[in-house]
Structure 1
Amino acid sequence: MKNTFKNLSALTFVTILTVSFTNVEKEKKEVKAENSKVVWKGYKVTGSHEGTIAINSGSLIFEKDKLTGGEFVIDMTSINTTDLEGEYKGQLDGHLKSDDFFGIEKYPTAKLVFNDVKSTGKNSYAVTGDLTIKGKTNPVNFTISIYGNKATASLKVDRTKYDVRYGSTSFFDNLKDKAIYDDFDLVADLEF
């Protein structure tokens, strides 16, 4: 009986040690860029414009089906306006790609890295991350929902934190109806 108790105690001790020092397996799931979509929307005094932007690469990291991290690289050269056509579309696309806005020749990509992920419900998470645009990195907070092999995220970005000042009343006076609001929205529909 003493030997059985000792063996059982030793087995329990070894099991506890093994579990304590076993790393939880992380699974990195690559985002299928061709099946994913990022929509942007910018606002001005007289209305708004919207369009799409492509994902270069991206991944979400899971531990036991719980989101724990992620990282995305965005192709800034793919900025595309979807609410205009013809000459006006070409002008706005070109202006957004210029140094007045995102300066894509010098900064062809932007990057988002998840730093902290907290579950807020069965399929939803609050994320704190670092967003880099035009070589400037700032913290952002956003929500993401996961359903099977799909995810939806939405965030609001203050463009002035990334030196995108054109038409901003934060930097220029007397813009009147030419003013462009500092915040723009991004909504991502992802497949992985």
Structure 2
Amino acid sequence: MKKQVLNIFTVVTLCIAVVGCKKAKEADTSEAEAAAVSESSMQKYNVKVSESVIAWKGFKPTGTHSGSINIDNGVFHMENGDLKSGTFLIDMNSIVCEDLNGEMKAKLEAHLKGSAEGEEGEFFNVAKFPTAAFEVTGTQPDKDGRVLLSGNLTLKDIKNNITFPAQITTEGDMVMIDSDAFTIDRTKWEINYGSKSVFDNLGDKFINDEIELKIAIKGRKN
């Protein structure tokens, strides 16, 4: 009986571990599409940049790092509670790492912002590409009142269309757009540093191609 209880406990523990370690789903990625166009009947919202942020997480064999990136500015349009169009500019110079301190924090942030040109490629190279962008191309209803939000993500002047689940809620004259956590394959934007799918002989010093993102944008009715 004691052995049976222990076996059941082991199974339950393993199930909890699997759920806890479940990775975010990769966003559907395809070629860039035409941006959605606003019409005069739609209500305009200006992004409150102080209350909007993109959380990021990167992975490597020895662990993870996480942080945030600020929205520089943005505007979007709603109609009958539905998101119809929008463009959001992203300040790539605002990248911060939130799980390190001191010299290690500064070193990683400089690395992410720098070009790091060489045989291992480069990261975001913000001196050359200080701004990224996301422009809405469409939405589709999803389960539990969510939507599948599609838009062109531009990084390093490379534009791809991505689709991911999001929740859109309204409160007075405010609208909140909160995405589920999702991943993108950074090499599709030529962010190749430390990618074992691009470079050989990296051993265990590679960095995963997947970057996890979670977008939270708040807008006020104009």
Q: Fold conserved (TM > 0.5)?
A: yes
Residue 165 of structure 1 corresponds to 192
Distance 1:136 1:27 in 2: 30
**1:50 aligned to 2:66?**
yes
Q: Secondary structure at the match of 1:146?
A: strand
Q: Among residues 92, 111, 117, which one is paired with 2:133 in the alignment?
A: 111
Distance 2:195 2:143 in 1: 37
Segments of 5+ residues of structure 2 without an aligned counterpart are 1-38, 116-121
**1:130 aligned to 2:147?**
no
Residue 18 of structure 1 corresponds to none
Segments of 5+ residues of structure 1 without an aligned counterpart are 1-22
**1:151 aligned to 2:177?**
yes
Distance 1:67 1:81 in 2: 31
Q: 1:129 to 1:122 in 2, by over 3 A?
A: same
Residue 83 of structure 1 corresponds to 99
Distance 2:142 2:79 in 1: 16
Q: 1:97 to 1:24 in 2, by over 3 A?
A: closer
Letter in 1 for 2:133: K
Distance 2:94 2:79 in 1: 32
Moved more, 114-123 or 136-145: 114-123
Q: Among residues 124, 132, 151, which one is paired with 1:102 in the alignment?
A: 124
Contact 1:123 1:147 in 2 (8 A): no
Distance 1:169 1:134 in 2: 20
RMSD: 1.6
Distance 2:209 2:85 in 1: 28
Letter in 2 for 1:89: K
Residue 142 of structure 1 corresponds to 164
Percent of aligned positions with the same letter in both sequences?
Answer: 37
Distance 2:187 2:144 in 1: 35
Distance 1:187 1:142 in 2: 10
Residue 20 of structure 1 corresponds to none
Larger Rg: 1
Q: Which has the higher contact order (CA 8 A, sep 6+)?
A: 2
TM-score (norm 2): 0.72
Distance 2:73 2:183 in 1: 21
Q: How many residues align?
A: 170
TM-score (norm 1): 0.83
Distance 2:179 2:149 in 1: 10
Structure 1 runs of 4+ with >3 Å offset: none
Residue 13 of structure 2 corresponds to none
Aligned-residue offset at 1:121: 4.5
